[in-house]
Amino acid sequence: MPTGSPVDGFRLTYDRHGSPTAGRPTVVLLHGWPGDRTDLDAVAARLAGDHDVLVPDLRGFGESDKHHEDPATAYGPDAQARSVAGLADELGLTDLVVAGYDVGSRVAQQLGRDRGDLTRAIVVAPPAPGVGRRVLAEGPMREFWYQAFHQLDLAEELVDGSTTAARAYVKHFWSHWSGPDFTPDDARLDHLASVYGPAGAFVASVGWYRAGGGMVARSLAEQAPDPADRLAVPTTFVWPEHDPLFPREWSDRLDEFFSDVTVIPVDGVGHFVPVEAPEAFTAAVAHVADLHSTAGGSR
């Protein structure tokens, strides 16, 4: 688990699997909240035989740096994307397929906007743009309560610095957001408690929401760009059936935001697609990586 050089003072801890192959892009896997880079273990193991795979902990998560700084400048999508790009630059990587879910999905999309020179393609589970005021409906608001809660000092007082509280808190989301056939096991919850429980760890992780990365604020502020300004990097959404945060009908406006977008439905699973359905997520990533290898025809 090496650590990259600092970007804005933040070092990212990462795992590297497989080995670089001439003409093939490196796959970068990005985790969500409340998780860490181990969310992608099963996907990385499946890809490693044929691909170079990089799996970092994002800023404020896992074993990466957690600094008490203004979230707006330190933990937002652009800051997270800078760290991922900085790590890729440090490792001499020039062609990436970036994949992820939840926070990792937003960071992948931001990286595509900010570093189109580096990013060949994106493969993500939701969130996605185009939700708009639908986020204020009764059903979504029942689900997104935690994003307002994370803005409060009370969240830090109740959860931060307590392994017991952190375990109970993350268990709720891993149980409630997952599909009907998935139950997080004790080993998984114990691991997450160990990384979210230390003093400062939980509050660092919610820096993403305090930076304005939450779904409600983002959806209400979002406007479709001019067609020429749509995200040009080819993007694939692996959209689960049972995600209570992002119903499939919210994929209806993707063409307004992406110039080249594909939706792959994955039945039977919930929010944590790479964990619940690693075979399906791996297949989507491998297919896109093959398309963007030299043999498959790069852009």
* Mean pLDDT of the 262-282 span: 98
- Residue 181, classed as helix, strand or coil, is coil
The answer to whether residue 93 scores a pLDDT higher than 60 is yes
pLDDT in tens, 46-59: 999 999 999 999 99
User: What is the dihedral sign for C-alpha 219, 222, 224, 229?
Assistant: negative
pLDDT at 215: 85
CATH 3.40.50.1980 fits 14-134+223-291, yes or no: no
- Residue 296, classed as helix, strand or coil, is coil
- With bands split at pLDDT 50, 70 and 90, how would you rate the model's confidence at 156? very high
- With bands split at pLDDT 50, 70 and 90, how would you rate the model's confidence at 221? confident
pLDDT at 22: 80
Is 65 an annotated catalytic residue? no
Q: Measured at the alpha carbon of residue 82, what is the angle toward residues 254 and 207, in degrees to the nearest 5? A: 80
- With bands split at pLDDT 50, 70 and 90, how would you rate the model's confidence at 299? very low
pLDDT at 296: 45
β-bridge mates for residue 169, sequence order: none
Measured CA to CA, the distance from residue 173 to residue 170 in angstroms comes to 5
- Catalytic site residue from 17, 51, 271, 292: 271
Helices 103-114 and 77-90, packing angle to 10 deg: 70
The answer to whether residue 297 scores a pLDDT higher than 60 is no
- Catalytic site residue from 102, 169, 196, 242: 102
Q: Are 95 and 299 in contact (CB under 8 A)?
A: no
The answer to whether residue 7 scores a pLDDT higher than 80 is yes
* Mean pLDDT of the 69-98 span: 96
pLDDT at 217: 80
pLDDT in tens, 172-204: 999 999 999 999 999 999 999 999 999 999 999
Is 146 an annotated catalytic residue? no
**What is the amino acid identity at position 61?**
F
Domain ranges, ordered by start, for the chain: 14-134+223-291
More confident residue, 294 or 141: 141
Is 271 an annotated catalytic residue? yes
* Mean pLDDT of the 27-54 span: 97
- With bands split at pLDDT 50, 70 and 90, how would you rate the model's confidence at 298? very low
The answer to whether residue 214 scores a pLDDT higher than 90 is no
Distances in Å between the Cα of 64 and the Cα atoms of 7, 13, 26, 174 are 12, 5, 21, 22
Average pLDDT over all residues of the chain: 94
* Mean pLDDT of the 28-46 span: 98
pLDDT at 213: 67
pLDDT at 196: 98
The radius of gyration computed from the CA coordinates of the chain, to the nearest angstrom, equals 18
- Catalytic site residue from 209, 242, 243, 292: 209
Q: What are phi and psi of 10, to 5 degrees?
A: -105, 125
User: How much of the chain exceeds pLDDT 70, in percent?
Assistant: 98
- Count CA atoms closer than 13 A to 184's CA, side-chain side: 26
- Residue 254, classed as helix, strand or coil, is helix
pLDDT in tens, 99-110: 999 999 999 999
- With bands split at pLDDT 50, 70 and 90, how would you rate the model's confidence at 277? very high
